[in-house]
Amino acid sequence: MENLVEIKNLYKTYSENTGLFSAKKEPVHALRGINLEIKRGEILALVGESGCGKSTLGNCILKLIDTSSGEILFKGENILTYNKKQTKAFRKSAQMIFQNPYSSLNPKMRIKEILEEPLKIYREKNIKERVIETISLCGLNQNDLKKYPHQFSGGQRQRIAIARALILKPDFIVADEPVSALDVSIAAQIINLLIELREKLNLTFLFISHDLNIVKYISTRIAVLNKGMIAEVGITEEIFKNPKDDYTKLLLSSIPKVNL
């Protein structure tokens, strides 16, 4: 399979501490020489314990934060050398779904406006049709367009956030813990929606999660991240059946037994 994304020797150091412990000025070496490929059409899961650098990697790949060194190739081009215009074009094809559908949607905008905004920015045509088509793909209906985010449940809000990520017809989605704020049954519905959308729209996903039961269910391959470095990458079944790295074994041994 062809690579959609290739990450080469990627480093990210947070030099100013902008996090919770901002008094401490020690640099944080969040990513330390990442090499990773994401194949077209796959759902690559990125797993590892809290603080290992999962969100940092997702944010670097979408150019939401600066990187320290290395290369990120998207469709064969290094996005880190892109100018503003190229970056804008790249952003159209690579989108993020965030963990928290409460904070990721502007509470003052109606769903219609939330979905129209990206289309207007990119001067797309057939805005009305595109909004209706996307909202129904995500399991919501036209009446929902006039409502505000607070009028929806958590699961529905995540559907709206997914619709917003899809409205520009991207090829690539980074989903950073997209269901960890939801109840188990609602989470399962959203996971099934993502699987369905991948098939219908030929999407490629980087799926960030700490929940290995969900990862087992949704992903094609798994990349295990440990302290900013890739410990192991492999086909999902293989990783679960025959983990090679000690850290992967440790992660797998700590899965709570829940069947989705």
Ligand X SMILES: Nc1ncnc2c1ncn2[C@@H]1O[C@H](COP(=O)(O)OP(=O)(O)OP(=O)(O)O)[C@@H](O)[C@H]1O
State the residues that interact with ligand X by CB under 6 A.
Answer: 14, 17-19, 28, 30, 48, 50-56, 210
Query: Binding partner of residue 240 among Mg ion, ligand X, none, CB under 5 to 8 Å per kind?
Result: none
By CB under 5 A, residue 56 contacts Mg ion: no
Nearer to ligand X, 119 or 225 (CB): 225
Give the residue closest to Mg ion by C-beta. 55
Tell me how far, at minimum, the Cβ of 78 lies from ligand X, in Å: 22
Query: DSSP per residue over 173-191, as a string?
Result: EEEESTTTTS-HHHHHHHH
Q: Which of 29, 38, 27, 33 is nearest to 62 (CA)?
A: 38
| Range 115-147 burial, b when 16+ CB lie within 10 A, else e | bbebbeeeeeeeeeebbbebbebbebeeebbee
As a whole number of angstroms, the distance between CA 185 and CA 199 comes to 22
Query: Binding partner of residue 19 among Mg ion, ligand X, none, CB under 5 to 8 Å per kind?
Result: ligand X
Tell me how far, at minimum, the Cβ of 208 lies from ligand X, in Å: 7
Query: Binding partner of residue 210 among ligand X, Mg ion, none, CB under 5 to 8 Å per kind?
Result: ligand X
Nearer to ligand X, 132 or 252 (CB): 252
Nearer to ligand X, 52 or 173 (CB): 52
Query: Binding partner of residue 52 among ligand X, Mg ion, none, CB under 5 to 8 Å per kind?
Result: ligand X
Nearer to ligand X, 118 or 228 (CB): 228
Strands 43-47 and 221-226: parallel
As a whole number of angstroms, the distance between CA 114 and CA 111 comes to 5
Nearer to Mg ion, 46 or 94 (CB): 46
Nearer to Mg ion, 100 or 189 (CB): 100
Quick one: which of 37, 42, 55, 214 contacts Mg ion (CB under 5 A)? 55
Query: Binding partner of residue 28 among Mg ion, ligand X, none, CB under 5 to 8 Å per kind?
Result: ligand X
By CB under 5 A, residue 59 contacts Mg ion: no
Tell me how far, at minimum, the Cβ of 225 lies from ligand X, in Å: 7
> Residue 164 carries which side chain, given as an amino acid letter?
R
Residues 6+ apart with CB under 8 A from 185: none
Residue 204: CB atoms within 10 Å? 23
| Range 32-55 burial, b when 16+ CB lie within 10 A, else e | bebebbbeebbbbbbbbeeebbbb
Tell me how far, at minimum, the Cβ of 250 lies from ligand X, in Å: 16
- Indicate the SS3 state at residue 72: strand
Query: Binding partner of residue 110 among ligand X, Mg ion, none, CB under 5 to 8 Å per kind?
Result: none
> Residue 26 carries which side chain, given as an amino acid letter?
E
Positions touching Mg ion (CB under 5 A) are 54-55
